[in-house]
Structure 1
Amino acid sequence: MTQQLDFADVNDQLPPQNIEAEEAILGGIMLDPDATQMLADTLVAEAFYIQAHRDIYQAALQLSLQHKHIDLLTVTSWLSDNDLLVRVGGRNKLANLVDRTVSAVNIDGLAEMVMDKYHARKLISAANQILKLAYDESVPLAERLDAAQEKIFSIRHETQTDKSVRMNRDISVINFAEIERISQGEQEPGISSGFYDLDTLTAGGFHPGELIIVGGRPSMGKSSFAHQLAFSIAKEYSAPTMIFSLEMSGEEINKRFLSSESGIEMSFLKSGKLSNNQWESLAQAVGDMDKVPLIIDDSTGSTPLQIRSKLRKAIAQHGQVKLVVIDYLQLMVDSSSNRLTQMIGHVTRELKLLARECNVPIMLLSQLNRGVEDRNDKRPMLSDLRDSGRIEEDADIVLAVYRDEYYNSESPDRGIAEVSILKNRQGATGTIKLLFEPHFTRFKNLKR
């Protein structure tokens, strides 16, 4: 089905097209029987600007699907049988296409040119649709903005799909070069968490494109842990990180950072009763925040689409983002819905795709089932992830935060937090121990 593009109000300019390239492609298809098969996955019929060219290409695609030989005779016959031969210009039109084509050697390059023109036309059409949206005040502004962004992003996504198909040998060369850079110390193996035992188990830290789930029961410190990672990575790499907080305000999160950086307990910051030395430490901590390019979004009810839009905008404005933290999954869906499992699965899948699209690790916090409380050993397991097995399926890494002293006042591990790697698609699983200082809401490495 041909998509109708909107080219209204473009000052009578001719939409982008390359007729010569279209003709050369069609001629090459009828010269080389294998050409259609090579183009079928990358060149769509709608990309041809001339309707007759679409019909001819569609004829070649149909013949290819039927495993029939493709040449001037078979294409002519198919068009005639489907009452399209006259519409495309008759036999002479097809013969001229073949006569004017030398070979099909560069047909893939020509196809790329035609697709570029097609996407440019789609961009013009989208711009006109966005203009109409802007005038439609019957629709809330936020919905119009989301719709406008989605129209642009969908075109962008189409232009990137072909890059995912590569020869294995080419990927091997890329991997060899990366391994060599890591071996020579020119590139880090991953984005360091700042916790050496965690980096060891995750093969050097977090990696672009990963979806990392951090689970834990309430009061275990999962939010503090994830927020601290975002802060420390932004500080260490002088590169932007992002926190999408659907529960805590930006002021609350920042106050935790000020407590950790200044060494002033949260209770003093909340009461405002500080000594002169503490005021100096606090002022120094506030000044140091200028060096930490951490972006906090505390909008409630954020959707994957909204997060995608804000992430791409941050990358455009501030450069490549090192880590995205989303706190937390269950607040992104309607908990009263009878489709909760499907909704959560949709969110995790969309965020996994976003991590790959933007080449950034995304850390998604998740609640654990209350069933944990009924066990003698309350250490989390994979099966404790709340509401959906899809969380486990989509995750590259699943971390769980646990503090034994919360349940056992006589615990020998007072002041200790366990971070368990319950799933690790690219490495080992296991448990590490960290110091936890609740007065400063911060985690530290244990001394070796």
Structure 2
Amino acid sequence: MSDPQDIIKQTRDSIRKSKLLLSDSQNVLDYGKMPPQAVDLEEAVLGAVMIERDAINEVSDILKEESFYVDKNQRIWRAIRALDQKQMPIDLLTVTEQLKKQGDLDMAGGPFYVAQLTNKVASAANVKAHAHIIAEKLIQRQLISTSTEVIKEAYSDTSDVFELLDKAEKNLFSIAESNLKRSSENISDILLSELKELDIRMNNSQDNLNGVPSGFIDLDKATGGWQRSDFIIVAARPAMGKTAFTLALARNAAVDHKKPVAIFSLEMSNAQLVQRLISMETHIAADKIRRGNLEEYEYQILTSKIDGLRNAQLFIDDTPAINVFELRSKCRRLKQQHNIEMVIIDYLQLMSGTNEGKGGGNREQEISQISRSLKGLAKELNIPVIALSQLSRAPEKRGGPPKPVLSDLRESGAIEQDADIVIFLYRPEYYKIPTFDDGTPTEGIAEVLISKHRNGPVIDVRTRFIGKFAKFENLNSFSAIDEYGAISKEKQKQNFITAQSKINKEEEDDFEFKRKHKSEDFSSDSDGPPF
């Protein structure tokens, strides 16, 4: 029999321990912070899945193993997912048996804990709402973890601040990508939305364009304008005019059609791009603008013609070697602040991927990742994204006219796969080819080759290229100024009718009348014409 004094002592020790535990708990509540969690809801969801056959379908795309804060709940969820993948029934007995097979039954609280879960809820009526709360708690924990890591590194003097910025943005983007997913929609809702869009397009569209106009008539006929969520690649060999062409696209959309456009120039500075735009707009040679070697009349022309550019919503960012995360962040801000309707990137191969894996992988994998990210950006912002790309030397090695093909895209086949439209620029004049296959002179003409078009025709479009001003325009444009600033003979034939002076015409008619009557006067003289 136990000594009463021992019993009293044990009781006092128990009370003391209880007070200490309560004190520690109170200290945590007063001075510490617990990670965001919803343990009761975790248990309720697990119980609902085991008592309701269809509950797993409600929550399987919302929750993942790390969504559960408690380790034993993670193990039970892992067993439930394994049963679901095998298309086996999910209930108390099957989950317990699966935990045994995994060797996790004891670590998951044993059969008693699993059985208790089924008593937590009476039905699975609110299981989806509970799952969303659990998922939100995970996002909070991930944000805390990322922020804590950034704070710790920010205090370190050895950390590179720009690498830290990139890492922070990448981690936050990773959290968003892994947790924010679009749900499926019923086709009736999609049809209703599309019919409303169709009504708007029928009432408001000009020349059957429902996208952002390119400004090139034949190109717009083929594409209907640049469509929302499309990823467009413009590729060419050096000196074909890639930058000039995309500047023309940006200028036409922003100036002529009042569309906000963002340009990310990794190759040229914003000052160089603006000089090119001024040259295109005013037909003053870029080198004269660059040197400031303008005549008085040229300066007056310049100041009078740049009002359209000055008032355009054209945003230029010349950050070198920008990475996909920084680009996405800037585009989101521009979309929010200025509602940009198109993004142009010059050019894709100058972008950098993530900082992870420096020295590992290869450039092809990095370009593939950049390409996929740009397509994702187009879908996320629901705007067309146009990226310039380099070509390999293959066109010039094949022999014959060096027209590019899809396999010439440099460094990655993923570019071809991800792009909705692939356009090549080709100027045979540069290769000293005098005529096209149909006999048309190549002088001053560029071909825009639509080599891939996911939602339209694959055709070749001809445009005019004025080399002195690095300007592309419609082939039948009334502008007749050639690259030397003069009116070209070909444009004279196409756009002008040569009419004679009325005085000259009267003199010719009078001379013809006199000549005719003189010949009639001497026609009966047998001695022949007079001398």
TM-score bin (small chain): 0.7 to 0.9
Aligned counterpart, 2:20:
none
Q: Partner residue of 1:367?
A: 390
Shift of 1:252: 0.9
CA deviation string 1:2-43 (max 9, x = no partner)? xxxxxx9x9733433334433332221121123224422321
Indicate the SS of the match to 1:157: helix
Give the corresponding residue for 1:5. Answer: none
Classify the secondary structure of the residue corresponding to 1:439.
helix
Tell me the equivalent position of 1:4.
none
| Alignment correspondent of 1:322 | 341
Q: Distance in 2 between matches of 1:223 and 1:129?
A: 41
Cα deviation for residue 330 of structure 1 reads 3.5
User: What percent identity do the matched residue pairs reach?
Assistant: 37
Do the aligned partners of residues 232 and 63 (structure 1) sit closer, same or farther apart at CA in structure 2, a change above 3 Å counting? same
1:129-178 deviation digits (Å, cap 9, x = unpaired): 221222233232221111000111111112322x1544455444443433
C-alpha distance in 2 between matches for 1:388 and 1:60: 40
**AA in 2 matched with 1:322:** E
Equivalent position of 2:211 in the other structure: 190
**Is 2:252 the counterpart of 1:232?**
yes
CA distance in 1, matches of 2:326, 2:174: 14
SS across alignment from 1:248: coil
Give, as a single letter, the amino acid of the residue that structure 1 aligns with 2:461: I
User: Is the partner of 2:210 in helix, strand or coil?
Assistant: coil
Residue from 113, 117, 138 that aligns with 2:137: 117
Per the alignment, in what secondary structure is the counterpart of residue 401 of structure 2? coil
Cα offset for 1:333?
6.9
Report the Cα distance in structure 1 between the residues aligned to 2:67 and 2:278, rounded to whole angstroms. 55
1:175 aligns to 2:204 (yes or no): no
**Cα distance change of structure 1 residues 65 and 367 upon mapping to structure 2, 3 Å threshold:** closer
The DSSP-based 3-state class of the residue aligned with 2:465 is strand
For residues 106 and 118 of structure 1, the distance between their equivalents in structure 2, rounded to whole angstroms, comes to: 19
Tell me whether 182-191 or 56-65 shows the greater mean CA deviation.
182-191
Q: Mark the structure with the bigger radius of gyration.
A: 2
Secondary structure of the residue aligned to 1:321 is: coil
Map of 2:419 onto structure 1: 395
Aligned residue pairs total 436
Residues 243, 65 of structure 1: CA spacing in aligned structure 2 closer, same or farther, 3 A cutoff?
Answer: same
Change (3 A) 1:137 1:265: same
Retained in 1: the 8 A contact 2:378–2:384?
A: yes
- Return the match for 1:45 from 50, 62, 65: 65
Distance in 2 between residues matched to 1:15 and 1:343, nearest whole Å? 36
C-alpha spacing 1:276/1:13, structure 2 compared with 1 (3 Å): same
Please name the residue that 1:440 is paired with: 469
User: Paired residue for 1:130?
Assistant: 150
Secondary structure of the residue aligned to 2:425 is strand
Looking at structure 2, the residues matched to 366 and 73 of structure 1 have their Cα atoms a distance apart, in angstroms, of: 58
CA–CA separation in structure 2 for the residues paired with 1:36 and 1:403: 59
Whole-angstrom distance in 1 between the partners of 2:423 and 2:185: 32
Q: Which residue of 1 aligns with 2:24?
A: none
Q: Does 1:406 align with 2:427?
A: no
Of the structure 1 ranges 45-54 and 126-135, higher mean CA displacement relative to structure 2 is found in 45-54
Q: Does 1:200 align with 2:224?
A: no
Larger RCO, structure (CA 8 Å, separation 6 or more): 1
Q: Secondary structure at the match of 2:407?
A: helix
1:186 & 1:16 partners in 2: Cα distance? 51
| TM-score of the pair, normalised by structure 1 | 0.85
Question: Is the contact between residue 465 and residue 473 of structure 2 (CA under 8 Å) also seen in structure 1?
Answer: yes
Q: Choose from 300, 307, 329 the match for 1:280.
A: 300
Is 1:214–1:398's contact at 8 Å kept on the other side of the alignment? yes
1:241 is matched with 261
SS in 1 for 2:262: strand
Work out which of the residue numbers 344, 366, 369 in structure 1 matches 2:367: 344
How has the CA–CA distance of structure 1 residues 24 and 218 changed in structure 2, closer, same or farther, with 3 Å as cutoff?
same
Report which stretch shifted further, 205-214 or 288-297: 288-297
Q: Structure 2 CA distance, aligned partners of 1:14 and 1:287? A: 59
Is the 2:324–2:352 contact (alpha carbons within 8 Å) kept by the matching residues of 1? no
Q: Which blocks of at least 5 consecutive residues in structure 1 are unaligned?
A: 1-7
Structure 1 residues 267, 81: CA separation in 2 closer, same or farther (over 3 Å shift)?
Answer: closer
Residue 414 of structure 2 aligns to which amino acid in structure 1? R
| CA RMSD after TM alignment | 3.3
Q: Is the 8 A contact 1:238 1:291 kept in 2?
A: no
TM-score by length of 2: 0.73
Q: CA 1:18/1:285 → structure 2, altered by over 3 Å: closer, same or farther? A: farther
1:431–1:143: structure 2 CA closer, same or farther, 3 Å change rule? same
Per-residue CA distance 1:179-218 (angstroms, 9 max, x = gap): 343234379621111212111111x111232221112222
Superposed, which structure 2 residues align to 1:272-311 within 5 Å? 272-285=292-305, 288-311=308-331
Tell me, in whole angstroms, the C-alpha distance in 2 between the residues paired with 1:75 and 1:370.
60
Preserved contact between residue 243 and residue 326 of structure 1 (Cα < 8 Å): yes
Contact 1:190/1:207 (8 A) holds in 2: yes
**Out of 363, 369, 384, which is 2:408 matched to?**
384
Within the candidate set 162, 183, 190, 1:142 is matched to 162
In structure 2, distance between residues paired with 1:387 and 1:86: 52
What letter matches 1:404 in structure 2?
P
More displaced stretch, 23-32 vs 371-380: 371-380
Q: Distance in 1 between matches of 2:46 and 2:116?
A: 11
Matched AA of 1:424? H
Per-residue CA distance 1:208-230 (angstroms, 9 max, x = gap): 32221112222221110012212
> In 2, are the aligned partners of 1:37 and 1:64 still within 8 Å (CA)?
no
- Equivalent residue, structure 1, for 2:484: none
Contact between 1:333 and 1:340, CA under 8 Å: does it hold in 2?
no
Q: Structure 1 residues 12, 239: CA separation in 2 closer, same or farther (over 3 Å shift)?
A: farther
100 and 270 in structure 1: CA distance in 2 versus 1, 3 angstrom threshold: closer
Indicate conservation of the 8 Å contact 2:42/2:134, yes or no: yes
Deviation per CA, 1:359-415: give whole Å up to 9, x if none.
332222222333433533233332333344333222211111122322337542322
Distance 1:191 1:358 in 2: 14
- Which consecutive residues of structure 2, in runs of 5 or more, have no partner in the other structure? 1-27, 354-359, 436-440, 478-531
In 1, the alpha carbon distance for the partners of 2:372 and 2:186 equals 26
Q: Secondary structure at the match of 2:468?
A: coil
Instruction: Indicate the larger mover: 110-119 or 325-334.
Output: 325-334
- Taking the aligned partners of 1:424 and 1:184, their CA distance within structure 2 comes to 26
Q: 1:377 to 1:299 in 2, by over 3 A?
A: same
Q: CA deviation at 1:295?
A: 2.4
Between the aligned partners of 2:219 and 2:311, the Cα distance in structure 1 is 25
1:28 to 48, 51, 75: 48
Cα distance in 2 for partners of 1:225, 1:413 equals 18
Match of 1:431 in 2: 460
